[in-house]
């Protein structure tokens, strides 16, 4: 197992390199960038999410130096829409400030060198280091991500097992109907529905609408702090869990059904094993492998893919909302720092899943196969 772990760790290097390279090239081809955003602000032009500036160098990022398809300094103002009439020296200073006066390959490799040392530099538009900015947002994302992942697995696995054991029963039929309806409802739409129903919308006012704690949280006794914390988490977690819960429940049920119908189950019963012994002594190990395989995607999506809309709706200042706002504001320094961290976490979580395979079923030997 040790050799396999080493191979996987070494494989992370080219994988991470490829992720950053592709993203770097894509962003370089995209219109707009930090320089154009500042020019648009000076000229009063629209810099919203739907504003697309044509005739501009593509924006990209190079770690501490940043990146935007660098124009030559001579006539630089003509390369940016809305820059006509601005002092070329001012445009030059902007490009130097963001590091866009360097060649693309130099910016890219400087970005990688900084990232290896976890030196992400500063945000383009906030007077704060990116690492400090991430640390400030991380507690919110950890609260949402860890609790969502924990609750999804604690609820979905027992429910999926029971549905598999009682396949075709009334319980299975009714719960399947509820799960299908839940799967069809987008998480952000369900979040809005929860606000309307339970957060002072048009009906009840049972839950708070924003934040993870109340304003007087620091003054509350310890037991009231815990209650207040989960009181604020209830609606966001419910909205985030909807899609992952339905998917994981159906995945667990189908996995167990597939194993229950195999010949070794009939053999075990013929030898006198009880249904419980067969289910948890034989079926469980095999059926849980596919469930464990879905852990990395569930875990990572809890921190970003499913998070930014929920964080926006419930005014939760976490990493998802930070990434979304950074993309809209062309703050590529923050965008790529988040991408690097999430990619790194995803690779390590994938390795953790493989290690968990061997704990669930010791018959799996990763040493005997190539990566």
- Kindly state whether residues 135 and 109 are assigned to the same domain: no
Evaluate whether residue 343 is within a structural domain. Answer: no
For residue 305, the model assigns a pLDDT of: 60
pLDDT digits (tens, 9 = 90+) for 134-177: 888 888 888 888 888 888 889 988 999 999 888 889 999 999 99
For residue 301, the model assigns a pLDDT of: 67
Domain boundary among 56, 89, 116: 116
Domain boundary among 328, 344, 365: 328
Question: Which residues are paired to 199 by β-bridges?
Answer: 205
Select the more confidently predicted residue: 135 or 40: 135
- Kindly state whether residues 146 and 66 are assigned to the same domain: no
Q: Are 98 and 334 in contact (CB under 8 A)?
A: no
Evaluate whether residue 196 is within a structural domain. Answer: yes
- Kindly state whether residues 71 and 211 are assigned to the same domain: no
- Kindly state whether residues 96 and 211 are assigned to the same domain: no
Nearest alpha-carbon partner for 144 in 306, 281, 6, 36: 306
Q: Are 81 and 42 in contact (CB under 8 A)?
A: no
**Lowest-confidence region among 109-113, 136-140, 306-310:** 306-310
For residue 348, the model assigns a pLDDT of: 85
Evaluate whether residue 99 is within a structural domain. Answer: yes
Using CA atoms, how far residue 12 sits from 5, 77, 238, 317, 331, in Å, is 11, 41, 34, 30, 26
Evaluate whether residue 347 is within a structural domain. Answer: no
Using CA atoms, how far residue 344 sits from 26, 41, 43, in Å, is 20, 35, 39
Domain at 310, CATH number? 1.10.3720.10
Select the more confidently predicted residue: 125 or 116: 116
Select the more confidently predicted residue: 80 or 341: 341
Radius of gyration for the alpha carbons in the chain, expressed in angstroms and rounded: 25
Evaluate whether residue 299 is within a structural domain. Answer: yes
- Kindly state whether residues 145 and 238 are assigned to the same domain: yes
- Kindly state whether residues 295 and 222 are assigned to the same domain: yes
Evaluate whether residue 51 is within a structural domain. Answer: yes
What is the span of the domain harbouring residue 322? 131-328
- Kindly state whether residues 88 and 157 are assigned to the same domain: no
Domain boundary among 58, 89, 116: 116
What is the number of domains present in the chain? 2
Evaluate whether residue 355 is within a structural domain. Answer: no
- Kindly state whether residues 101 and 146 are assigned to the same domain: no
- Kindly state whether residues 53 and 202 are assigned to the same domain: no
The H or E element spanning position 60 is strand 59-60
pTM exceeding the 0.75 threshold for the entire prediction: no
- Kindly state whether residues 221 and 284 are assigned to the same domain: yes
Evaluate whether residue 175 is within a structural domain. Answer: yes
Nearest alpha-carbon partner for 306 in 294, 296, 314, 298: 298
Tell me the average pLDDT of the chain: 78
- Kindly state whether residues 89 and 35 are assigned to the same domain: yes
């Amino acid at each position: 197992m040790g050799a396999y772990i080493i191979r996987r760790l070494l494989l992370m290097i080219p994988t991470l390199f490829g992720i950053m390279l592709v993203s770097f090239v894509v962003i370089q081809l995209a219109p707009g960038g930090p320089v154009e955003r500042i020019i648009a602000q000076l000229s009063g032009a629209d810099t919203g999410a739907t504003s697309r500036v044509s005739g501009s160098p593509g924006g990209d990022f190079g770690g501490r130096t940043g990146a935007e398809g660098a124009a030559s300094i001579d006539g630089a103002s003509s390369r940016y829409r809305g820059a006509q009439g601005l002092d070329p020296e001012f445009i030059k200073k902007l490009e130097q400030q963001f590091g866009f006066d360097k060649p693309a390959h130099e910016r890219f490799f400087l970005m990688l060198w900084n990232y290896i040392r976890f030196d992400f530099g500063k945000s383009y538009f906030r007077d704060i280091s990116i690492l400090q900015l991430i640390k400030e947002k991380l507690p919110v994302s950890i609260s949402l991500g860890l609790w969502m992942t924990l609750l999804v697995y604690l609820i979905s696995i027992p429910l999926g097992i029971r549905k598999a054991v009682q396949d075709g029963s009334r319980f299975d039929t009714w719960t399947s109907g509820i799960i299908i309806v839940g799967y069809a409802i987008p998480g952000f739409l369900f979040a809005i529905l929860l606000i309307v129903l339970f957060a002072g919308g048009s009906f009840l006012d049972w839950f708070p609408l924003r934040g993870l704690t109340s304003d007087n949280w620091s003054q509350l006794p310890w037991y009231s702090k815990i209650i207040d914390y989960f009181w604020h988490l209830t609606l966001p977690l419910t909205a985030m869990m909807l899609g992952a819960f339905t998917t994981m429940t159906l995945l667990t049920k189908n996995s167990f059904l597939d194993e229950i119908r195999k010949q070794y189950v009939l053999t075990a019963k013929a030898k006198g094993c009880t249904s419980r012994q067969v289910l948890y002594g034989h079926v469980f190990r095999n059926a849980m492998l596919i469930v464990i395989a879905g852990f990395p995607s569930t875990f990572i999506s809890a921190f970003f893919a499913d998070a930014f809309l929920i964080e926006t709706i419930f005014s939760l200042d976490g990493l998802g909302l930070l990434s979304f706002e950074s993309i809209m504001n062309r703050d590529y320094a923050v965008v790529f720092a988040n991408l690097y961290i999430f990619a790194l976490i995803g690779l390590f979580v994938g390795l953790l899943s493989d290690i968990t395979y061997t704990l669930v079923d010791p018959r799996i030997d990763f040493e005997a196969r190539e990566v």
